[in-house]
Structure 1
Amino acid sequence: MKKSLMLIALCVGLAQPALASTATATTLYDKLGGKESIRAVMDDFVSRVAADPRIGDQFRNTNAIRLSALLTEQVCEATGGPCKYAGQDMKSAHAGMTITKAHFNALVEVLIASMQAKGVPFALQTDVLALLAPMHRDVITVK
């Protein structure tokens, strides 16, 4: 039940990332293991999301390699890494798509499964989700 409540809070942007200890100036990017570790999660995520019966159809015509690379850049930059995201803003990227809150929540569930599969500790998972959660405003196109 707690996991469901956390997921809902993150999806509507209510949760905040944990504060980094002042004793360690390590970025979330570093804690995640850097770009290669993020890429491993994103590769897994893209595979899982394409196969997910709830949302896979929306990724049918997507170039999986390019999507994984863009997601890696986006997460790398958002977590304090050296990358610069070169993709579209979320509103433009999802314009014309029929994305509901249920679709978004399914996507978050798949991302959590990918992070778990790649050994990302729970506390870091919540930090990543908290960074990405505000995007729901631009991704959900059907209210």
Structure 2
Amino acid sequence: MKHSLLMVALLAGSMFTSSFGKSEAEEAPAPTLYDRLGKTEGIATIVDGLVANVGAETKTLNSLMLRSHKPMLDAVGGVNGAAPTDPLRLQRLRNNFVDQLGEATGGPLAYKGMNMVSAHKGMNITNNEFSV
């Protein structure tokens, strides 16, 4: 009996102390990609840079993206001096992209836009355009 009580006490003690023996690295969850990108603010900065780069690329002499992005550019900027037909279209695209990346990287954001097939339907994006 004495021996059994000693074994139970040792077992209980080892279980109790082993729960305190874990290092912070073992207990702290790894940061998500969302966290590592700088959360919403960091993702928005990345998306804003991408939008600026695409806009700049469409203004180059040999633009590979102008053809597929022309409807967006025309809607936002107007055509031949006409007023823009949808001046907020680019802002909606940007916001949807931030939400999409925020959700895909493990953050709390929720993408509410169209699925990718529907969003790109009719654009006839070529492999070269996709690779830019």
Asked if TM exceeds 0.5, the reply is yes
- The RMSD of aligned alpha carbons is 1.8
- What is the total number of aligned residue pairs between the two structures? 86
Q: Which has the larger radius of gyration?
A: 2
SS in 2 for 1:60: helix
Q: Verify: 1:60 aligned to 2:70, yes or no.
A: yes
TM-score of the superposition, structure 2-length normalised? 0.59
Q: Which residue of 2 aligns with 1:17?
A: none
Unaligned runs of 5+ in 2: 1-24, 58-62, 73-88
Higher relative contact order (CA 8 A, sep 6+): 1
**TM-aligned CA distance change 1:57 to 1:47, over 3 Å:** farther
Q: Percent identity?
A: 40
SS in 2 for 1:26: coil
CA distance in 1, matches of 2:127, 2:40: 29
Q: Verify: 1:72 aligned to 2:98, yes or no.
A: yes
Superposition deviation, residue 54 in structure 1: 1.2
Superposition deviation, residue 60 in structure 1: 3.2
Q: Which of 27, 42, 55 matches 1:50?
A: 55
1:1-143 paired onto structure 2 within 5 Å: 24-52=29-57, 53-62=63-72, 63-106=89-132
Unaligned runs of 5+ in 1: 1-20, 107-143
- Matching residue's letter, 2:52: S
SS in 2 for 1:85: coil
